[in-house]
Chains A and B, each alone.
Chain A
Amino acid sequence: GQNIDQPTEMTATEGAIVQINCTYQTSGFNGLFWYQQHAGEAPTFLSYNVLDGLEEKGRFSSFLSRSKGYSYLLLKELQMKDSASYLCAVLDSNYQLIWGAGTKLIIKP
């Protein structure tokens, strides 16, 4: 079956750096996505990786290793507003999105 694993919850300190990992086993691969979802709100798109390597976008970066079935989202200079759930999703060979359960990130002052 298809599976996406990410930690359920993480805690980090304001101003610090945090890395949220995602491992996947899917039928084919057409890209990996990270979404951010604040409590009670809609998920919003953060990043997309289809080739191996690091994609940087401001304070957020996303890394992909297709051979290892692994990605991480790196958040730098954490701010209180980064407290949210972060969802990892893989586009499989049928162009269906397979979703992880999400990682709830708690930022402490």
Chain B
Amino acid sequence: DVKVTQSSRYLVKRTGEKVFLECVQDMDHENMFWYRQDPGLGLRLIYFSYDVKMKEKGDIPEGYSVSREKKERFSLILESASTNQTSMYLCASSLTWEAGELFFGEGSRLTVL
């Protein structure tokens, strides 16, 4: 059974703190993605990666960075968390670049106070 695992389901952080969200997939997928999901908005792409050590900016990369040191792991980093980064963060992976079938993790709900 395919699986995408996100390290934390719920986090509460203070403004200015550094936040790490980790994602691991066990499907040997090339592509991995970080989205944020907010009420009334479609999923918005933060960053994606199509290979180890490769990363590409999505639609809303400001305030975020990513790391992909191993194929199965894709981390999202908030260098200095702000209240407007309170959101649900979803990690996903896909087999090929052309594939729109994504496999999602359970999500990490981040609250920044």
Residue tally, chain A, CB below 8 Å to B: 23
Contact of A42 among B40, B41, B90, B97 (CB under 8 A): B90
Residue of A nearest to B31 (CB): A95
Contact of B45 among A43, A96, A101 (CB under 8 A): A96
Contact B43 A30 (CB under 8 A): no
B106 within 8 A of A: yes
SS of B interface (majority): loop
CB proximity of A56 to chain B, nearest CB, Å: 18
Q: Which of B25-48 contact A (CB under 8 A)?
A: 40-45
Which residues of the partner chain B approach A33 to less than 8 Å between Cβ atoms? 100-101
Which residues of the partner chain A approach B104 to less than 8 Å between Cβ atoms? 42-44
Q: Which of A55-109 contact B (CB under 8 A)?
A: 87, 89, 91, 95-102
Q: Chain B: residues with CB nearer than 8 A to chain A?
A: 4, 40-45, 90, 97-98, 100-107
